[in-house]
Amino acid sequence: MNRSQAIQEAVKEKLQKITKSRLAKECAKLDPSFEQAMADEGLSEDLREWPEY
């Protein structure tokens, strides 16, 4: 591996770490009970729209 490739790999790894860190921070902001309530509400509405077979 030459110097250019090593730098590219290091930058790639750093960007991946930043992305994972940013995702973790955003996920930590979520309220699980609120998200579950929203999912349940959406699911019940979706079920009413589906035709019966």
CA 50 to chain centre: 28
Task: Check whether 46 has a pLDDT greater than 70.
Answer: no
Task: Check whether 43 has a pLDDT greater than 80.
Answer: no
CA 12 to chain centre: 19
pLDDT score recorded for residue 37: 86
Number of domains within the chain: 1
Q: What is the pLDDT of residues 8-17, one digit of tens each?
A: 999 999 999 9
| Residue 44 main-chain phi, psi, to 5 deg | -65, -35
Instruction: Provide the domain limits for residue 45.
Output: 3-49
Q: What is the pLDDT of residues 21-42, one digit of tens each?
A: 988 999 999 999 988 888 887 6
Q: What is the pTM of this model?
A: 0.48
CA atoms of 17 and 9, how far apart (whole Å): 12
CA atoms of 50 and 26, how far apart (whole Å): 33
The overall longest dimension of the chain from CA atoms, in Å, is 63
